[in-house]
Structures are given as C-alpha cells and as structure tokens.
C-alpha cells in the first residue's frame, strides 16, 4: 500500500539544483547593501541624512547652551 518512490520521499533525499550549487562569491557586506539602498532611494536618503545632521547640530548646541558657565551678578 505504501509506495517507496513517492514524491515526498524524493524531495527529502534529493537536494535539488539550488542546494547543490556552490556559491560563486561571498554575500555582500552590510555596508555595500546600505550604499546600494541609499543610491536606489536617493532623495529620501538625502532628506533623512539632512534631518539627522540638523538634529545632531541642535543637540550639540543645546548641550553647549545648558553647559555654559553662569555669569556672576
């Protein structure tokens, strides 16, 4: 009643063409993927970079403002 050559048994024992192929190059690094994504989404990346730069500048300015010595009266 059970057939030993069922498709389920073959898929388990036969790895298929995708699993037997050796990788030709290592996967790209995270930096390379980030750069590729930044080039692909050019304007959005520039806007986010600009907002980050402005926010960091404001943070530094506020830290300098609140950390300044108080003037004697």
pLDDT in tens, 22-34: 668 888 889 899 8
| Residue 36: inside a domain | yes
Q: Round to whole Å and give the CA distance between 23 and 62.
A: 51
pTM of the model: 0.48
| Residue 6, CA distances (Å) to 14, 19, 23, 48 in order | 12, 21, 30, 55
Under the banding of pLDDT at 50, 70 and 90, the label for residue 21 is low
Of 16, 13, 19, which Cα lies nearest the Cα of 5? 13
Query: Left, alpha or beta for 16 (phi > 0: left; psi -120 to 50: alpha)?
Result: left
Domain count along the chain:
1
Residue 10 lies in a domain: no
40 occurs within a structural domain: yes
Q: Is residue 44 within a helix (H) or strand (E), and if so which, with residue range?
A: helix 42-66
* Residue 45 confidence (pLDDT) above 60: yes
Residue 41 has pLDDT above 80, yes or no: yes
Q: State which residues form the domain around 68.
A: 28-73
Q: Is residue 48 part of a domain?
A: yes
For residue 21, being part of any structural domain is answered with no
């Amino acid at each position: 009643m059970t057939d030993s050559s069922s498709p389920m048994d073959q898929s388990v024992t036969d790895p298929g063409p995708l699993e037997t192929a050796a990788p030709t190059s290592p996967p790209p690094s995270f930096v390379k993927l980030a750069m590729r994504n930044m080039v692909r989404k050019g304007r959005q990346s520039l806007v986010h970079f600009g907002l980050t730069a402005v926010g960091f500048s404001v943070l530094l300015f506020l830290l300098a403002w609140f950390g300044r010595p108080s003037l004697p009266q």
